[in-house]
Structure formats: structure tokens, C-alpha cells
Structure 1
Amino acid sequence: MKPKLCPVQPSNYATVASWPESAEATQRWAGPGVPFPLPPERFAQVLELEVRPGWALLDEQGVCVGFGQYWMTATDTAHLGRIIVSPRVRGRGLGRALMQALCARAQHEDGVQHLTLRVYRDNAAAAALYRDLGFQQVDASSTPELLFMQRTAA
């Protein structure tokens, strides 16, 4: 059985919030203004789950091993963000599974034709994964610190 993408539940908040190990890691994952540690009781509010729904990747035992969000930025465009995999299971292909599931959900459930994301330039593993999944760098929207990447739905 492969991992399954499900709407994130309050029972997952503490788990996901525990994955970033520092204030810097939290900011790189979730953006400026997100506290470290992120209190589970503030998870939904801080990550704006009401307008930017969160998705949990569950393993075969139902344990949350990944998290991500996407939100509409135009009629046919979704932006993926706050992608994270549990440090305990990194390197096992779960980041790929999470990204594939998020992209498929956005495309099939919400009719998305274009997907975008930002990734830190020094996060070589993530950037390579995104390229492998068909995302291409958009130089005009990138910064010295962040790559802006996009892909058209298959």
C-alpha cells in the first residue's frame, strides 16, 4: 500500500509542528512570522488552513509523514508551499510521493492547469526533485535566495 494524501487533521498538528528543529528552519519552511516552536493550538490559524488547506501524507499505518499546502493564485493556477517530510523518513521517496499527490489533487480536483512553487536555492535536493517532476525555473520571478518554479499540468 502506498502513502495516502488526506486533509490534515488537528491530531497531526503537533507532529508536523515538531519537524522544523529551529527558528531558521521554521521560517524557511513556513515563512516569516511563524513562531518557533509552532504551538499546535495555533497551527491552523498561523498556517491559514481556512484559506490555504493543508494536506497530510499518511503512511500505511496512518502515521503522518509529510505535509503540504496549495492555494489558488489565479483561476487555473495553484501555488504549492510549506512542503515538509518528517526527518525520520527523509530519503525514502516520500517527498516525491507527497508532491505527486498534491499536484494530482490540484489538477484533478480543482482543475488546475499551472502549478508554481518557491524553493531556497541552497536546497539542492528539493530543487532537483521539483525539476524531475517537470517544474522549470522562472528567472524573472526568482530572487538571489529563492527559485520560483512552475509547470503546466500534464
Structure 2
Amino acid sequence: MTEHLQPVQPEHHAAIAAWLDSSDATLRWAGPGVAFPLPPGQFAQALQLAERPGWVLLDEHGQCVGFGQFWPTTSGTMHLGRIIVSPQVRGRGLGRALMQALAAQASGSAAVERLTLRVYRDNTAAIALYSGLGFQPVDADSTGELLFMACSRP
């Protein structure tokens, strides 16, 4: 497969919103304040794309198969968030491809020294993926429900 990352476009909004099948899934992915269903016309505003640009992973046919965002949090740190792979293609290694491309894009500036993310503790598949990519738990910043993870610049 030859996937590639590009900035999210309005034509991707409906596909990504359709991956969310419940208010609980939307809350876990996007956080409080994002409605379910997520209307494609409100996608950019709800996800604050102006401040936190979004990126899509496109497959070899140009189909949107993954989405993620990153934004600066502290000096030298980019936080990755709202990472999702289309339910129709999960289990094919696209989560790894998305994370590698997103991490590379987020680390594009020499000023970026560290990447961080949060993941629900019960999402064992994502935790295994992130650990395999060099992310380590940061217990001091974690909660009972969410694991905070960080890695040095990849």
C-alpha cells in the first residue's frame, strides 16, 4: 500500500464523522463539547481546525482511511490527538502508518523535541501501537481513565 498524509479537506469531513457511531464514541474521540452526530458542516469549527490543523491518511485510491491532529502545548512539545482509523480498514496496519506519518509531520520543526498523546487505558490495541512507536507512559500526567504518553522526537 502507498498511503500518504495530507491536510484534511472539507470533502473528508462527512467520511470521518461517519466513523463515529455513538455519542460515547464521539466523546472518547473528540472530547466534551463535540456533538453526536457530528454534522460535516460543523466539523472544522467543532474540532478547532483553524488552531489545531487536521491531517488525513489517504490510501492508494485516494480514500480517506485515517485522521489525526497535532498542536503545540509547551515549548518543544507537540500533542497528537483525535487519532482515528476508519472502522472498515482497522487491523490492516493503517493505524501504524497514520501514526508514523503524523509523528513525522508533527516533528517537522527542529524546535520539536517531544510528542505527547492521551489514550484511554482500556484501548489496549492503541496502547500497544503507541508503545511500539516509542511512546512511554507518564504516570504523573495520567489519570485512572486516561494514560498520558510521550516520546522524544522520532
Tell me if both proteins adopt one fold, taking TM over 0.5 as the criterion.
yes
Q: How much identity, in percent, do the aligned residues show?
A: 66
> Take 1:50 and 1:107, find their aligned partners in 2: how far apart are those partners?
19
Structure 2 residue runs of 5 or longer lacking an equivalent are: none
Do the aligned partners of residues 110 and 41 (structure 1) sit closer, same or farther apart at CA in structure 2, a change above 3 Å counting? farther
Query: What is the CA-CA distance between 1:108 and the residue it aligns to?
Result: 2.0
RMSD: 1.0
Query: What is the CA-CA distance between 1:2 and the residue it aligns to?
Result: 1.5
Query: What is the CA-CA distance between 1:99 and the residue it aligns to?
Result: 0.3
> Take 1:4 and 1:89, find their aligned partners in 2: how far apart are those partners?
15
Query: What is the CA-CA distance between 1:124 and the residue it aligns to?
Result: 0.2
> Take 1:130 and 1:110, find their aligned partners in 2: how far apart are those partners?
22
TM-score (norm. length: structure 2): 0.97
> Take 1:108 and 1:117, find their aligned partners in 2: how far apart are those partners?
17
Query: What is the CA-CA distance between 1:110 and the residue it aligns to?
Result: 6.5
> Take 2:91 and 2:41, find their aligned partners in 1: how far apart are those partners?
30
Query: What is the CA-CA distance between 1:74 and the residue it aligns to?
Result: 1.8
Equivalent position of 1:25 in the other structure? 25
Query: What is the CA-CA distance between 1:112 and the residue it aligns to?
Result: 1.6
Equivalent position of 1:68 in the other structure? 68
Aligned pair count reads 154
Superposition pairs of residues 12-51 of structure 1, within 5 angstroms: 12-51=12-51
- Using the TM superposition, name which of 101-110 and 68-77 deviates more: 101-110
Structure 1 residue runs of 5 or longer lacking an equivalent are: none
TM-score (norm. length: structure 1): 0.97
Equivalent position of 1:2 in the other structure? 2
